[in-house]
Amino acid sequence: MDNILRELENTLKQRKQTGDTGSSYVASLHHKGLNKILEKIGEEATETILAAKDLNNGGTREGLVGEVADLWFHSMVMLSHLDVELSEVTDCLARRAGTSGLDEKAARGQT
């Protein structure tokens, strides 16, 4: 699982560097800037929420999975745009592993 995210991270870096907006969706997002990327994340988050709600009302599991994939993808484009490495996110998750969510949230409030 981790390999596909690393491969995607490398592809996103490559597309950001080439800047070929005519043939690369990712390059076009980078060209349009952070606000457009954030707008796409907002759209995908909303679509993910709707797909999750729809799952109980005739929606499909594949629909939800597809929307989550879109959300993750656009989140990774944002990270790439801001030069944040995927390992920074996975390291943060690793540090949180085994910690109660309530304890972790309380600790963030104290820093």
pTM, two decimals, is: 0.87
| Residue-wise burial string across 9-21, b where 16 or more C-beta atoms lie within 10 A, e elsewhere | beebeebbeeeee
68-81 average pLDDT score: 98
Band (pLDDT 50/70/90 cuts) for residue 47 is very high
Band (pLDDT 50/70/90 cuts) for residue 102 is confident
CA distance 43 to 74: 10
| pLDDT score at 48 | 98
| pLDDT score at 45 | 98
Task: Tell me what percent of the residues of the chain surpass a pLDDT of 70.
Answer: 95
| pLDDT score at 108 | 74
| Confidence check: pLDDT of 110 > 70 | no
The two tokens of residue 60 are 């499909």
- 57: helix, strand or coil: coil
Total Cβ atoms within 10 A of residue 64: 19
**Site of tokens 């989550």:** 68
Please name which of 92, 3, 110 lies closest in space to residue 84, comparing C-alpha atoms.
92
The two tokens of residue 7 are 């491969």
Domains belonging to the chain, first-starting first, are 2-85 (1.10.287.1080)
